[in-house]
Amino acid sequence: MSSAKYDVLGIGNAIFDILVQTDEGFLASHGMTKGGMSLIDESRAAAIYRDMGPATEMSGGSAANTIVGLANLGARAAYVGKVKNDQIGKLYAHDIRAAGVAFETRPATDGPATGCSYILVTPDGERTMNTYLGAAQELMPSDIDADQVAASAIVYLEGYLWDPKSAKDAFVKAAGIAHEAGRQVALTLSDSFCVDRYRGEFLDLMRNGTVDLVFANEAELHSLYQTSDFDAALKQFRADVNLAIVTRSEKGCVVASKDDVTAVPAFPIEKMVDTTGAGDLFAAGFLFGLVRGAGYENAGRLGALAAAEVIQHIGARPQTSLKQLAQQSGLPA
């Protein structure tokens, strides 16, 4: 195994976020499930957007947010995801490159527009996402550069890749190349409804060794094992994957390896403004700790710190230097 050019390569749906602060009534009147990610088609996107208040836009996408967080912490990071070469796709490509991430995926030149998520943030800070995949549908196995994957210490994949039609093939291809090169493969389960759609396939990925590390929040964990018993679900999770990381919002996180379980508290915050990106940034901090060999507890603390930054402002990408925040907290960065 040669030394890695990248610490982490992320693969995901490249999605532009259109964020608005709204009230609970908006969710109810549009039949939205609070806290979830719903896939929408173009006509539903138009109907939601028509009724939405003035918005703020910024680049998003779950794995992309994680990768940007990693670069912000000082990791060498790369991303694979599909936008179209339209105005929004150009904003997207700018933002991820400007964050210091290697991003070489060829944009689509025809077909649907760059994907967008219409994100409703309620007064309690919870976000409800309505995602039009658009060009993200066009991610193909041919977008995976074998040399780049083989040169990355960790390949990080989002469960959302099961939604577009060909992206799962890209996922499996990347995981295979990574393992052949002696690298590690990480997966985030993304969303409890996503787990509900692909439970069997996600369990297969874990049980047949396609993925080595899996991130889940409590809702995703409970959905995966169809139980409301946390301890029972965690026990199964540990049996199914080499390293299981469960985020529990204000209760912190649990890192469970075959040998040991480490609980790490959440990072204190002043005010929760918008949970968009909380899990993504937790994964960024955790993976950063992991590639720096900081140990599970410090990795968990780095995850908690990065998540705490992102939930205290609108949007899913860091607005300050996580590296400096980590240093100020005495964490390795």
User: Minimum Å distance from CB 97 to a second copy?
Assistant: 9
User: Minimum Å distance from CB 26 to a second copy?
Assistant: 12
Closest CA to 282 of 249, 251, 241: 249
How far is it, in rounded angstroms, from Cα 293 to Cα 301?
A: 13
The piece of 89-97, 142-150, 184-192, 286-294 that touches a second copy (CB under 8 A) is 89-97
Binding-residue total with a second copy (CB under 8 A): 26
Does 194 participate in binding a second copy (rule CB under 8 A)? Answer: no
Does 27 participate in binding a second copy (rule CB under 8 A)? Answer: no
Does 95 participate in binding a second copy (rule CB under 8 A)? Answer: yes
Does 87 participate in binding a second copy (rule CB under 8 A)? Answer: yes
According to CB under 8 A, which one of 27, 74, 86, 112 is a site residue for a second copy?
86
Output 23 or 147, the one with its CB closest to a second copy.
Answer: 23
Q: For residue 217, how far is the Cα from the chain centroid? A: 12
Does 55 participate in binding a second copy (rule CB under 8 A)? Answer: yes
According to CB under 8 A, which one of 58, 203, 219, 261 is a site residue for a second copy?
58
Does 54 participate in binding a second copy (rule CB under 8 A)? Answer: yes
The piece of 95-103, 173-181, 195-203, 217-225 that touches a second copy (CB under 8 A) is 95-103
How far is it, in rounded angstroms, from Cα 154 to Cα 135?
A: 25
User: Minimum Å distance from CB 88 to a second copy?
Assistant: 5
The answer to whether the beta carbons of residues 17 and 96 sit under 8 Å apart is: no
Contacts of a second copy in 256-315 (CB under 8 A): 314-315
According to CB under 8 A, which one of 281, 317, 326, 331 is a site residue for a second copy?
317
Binding site for a second copy (CB under 8 A): 18, 21, 49, 52-59, 68, 86-88, 91, 94-96, 98-99, 113, 314-315, 317, 319
